[in-house]
Amino acid sequence: MAIYKVLGLFDELRKMQMFSALSDEEMGDIVGKIVVKYYRKDDVILWEGDTNSYMYLIMSGRVKVVQMTEDGKEIISAIHAVGDSFGELSLLDCKTSPAEVVAIEDTSAAIISREDLFSIIYSQKKVLDNLIQMFCMRLRDSCERVQMVNFKNSEQRLTMLFQKFSASHGEPVTEGTLLNIRLTHQIMASMTGLSRETVTRTIDALRKEKSIKIRKEDRKVILLPDFLKLRLVA
């Protein structure tokens, strides 16, 4: 049973960008530094303002990165799924967590302590290179999010949100591109700065325009060919 767990962890870590360039021998050294933890839906994994001692790599499930406004409105800055990581920023600069991280569904994560992360970075340049690339992607994503919430038109905001998820979670299907991530209207509202009611109306409009389709069995969004004709105008 223990051997199965180690082999399963080995295979899962090899799929993650941070460790994708490592050899089997190099991966074997890292597996021993990792602990897997499990969280139930709605568990708070990191609290905003807390000191963080670990980096988290998602092996199953999804989490949302959340900040609250003064009037109690939830703002979702990111959703992380299998293969994504979080917690590394506050881990590296030794400051408090800038946001709350909450499990959207039952989630398992491989966690690495600060001491072990630095040991890996110093001994494996390929991990450091991948980590820098990951930070660059996060920075670019933050810039795109600022651009998105500055759009005055709700259709523009949702279009850009779908484009972002198409790049990270898009899968080709017969009808177009499936966004292989479960997005509720509330999640979309919290990520775009729109109200839930506005999201619902805009989704209905995009469906009538035959730009998107909602798959019945799991309520996931499919971007239809006409979606590509949409243009974002600031």
Phi and psi at residue 67, to the nearest 5°? -130, 150
Q: Which of 92, 125, 148 is the last residue of a domain?
A: 148
Report the percent of the chain where pLDDT is more than 70.
Answer: 94
Is 90 exceeded by the pLDDT of residue 27?
A: no
Is 70 exceeded by the pLDDT of residue 5?
A: no
Q: Which of 111, 133, 148 is the last residue of a domain?
A: 148
CA distance 140 to 112: 25
Question: Is residue 135 domain-shared with residue 73, that is, in the same domain?
Answer: yes
pLDDT single digits (tens) 144-170: 888 888 888 999 999 999 998 998 889
Question: Is residue 59 domain-shared with residue 110, that is, in the same domain?
Answer: yes
Question: Is residue 172 domain-shared with residue 116, that is, in the same domain?
Answer: no
pLDDT at position 8:
67
Is 80 exceeded by the pLDDT of residue 117?
A: yes
Phi and psi at residue 207, to the nearest 5°? -70, -40
Element (H, E) at 41: none
CATH number for the domain that contains residue 39:
2.60.120.10
In a domain, 196, yes or no: yes
Phi and psi at residue 51, to the nearest 5°? -80, 130
CA distance 136 to 142: 10
Which residues constitute the domain of residue 189?
Answer: 151-229
Average pLDDT, the chain: 86
Cβ contact 37:81 at 8 Å: no
Q: Is 102 exposed, middle or buried (0-12, 13-18, 19+ CB in 10 A)?
A: buried
pLDDT single digits (tens) 43-59: 999 998 888 889 999 99
Question: Is residue 54 domain-shared with residue 125, that is, in the same domain?
Answer: yes
Q: What totals of helices (H) and strands (E) does the chain contain, helices first? A: 8, 12
221 or 232: which leads in pLDDT = 221
Question: Is residue 103 domain-shared with residue 200, that is, in the same domain?
Answer: no
- pTM for the whole structure: 0.78
Question: Is residue 136 domain-shared with residue 221, that is, in the same domain?
Answer: no
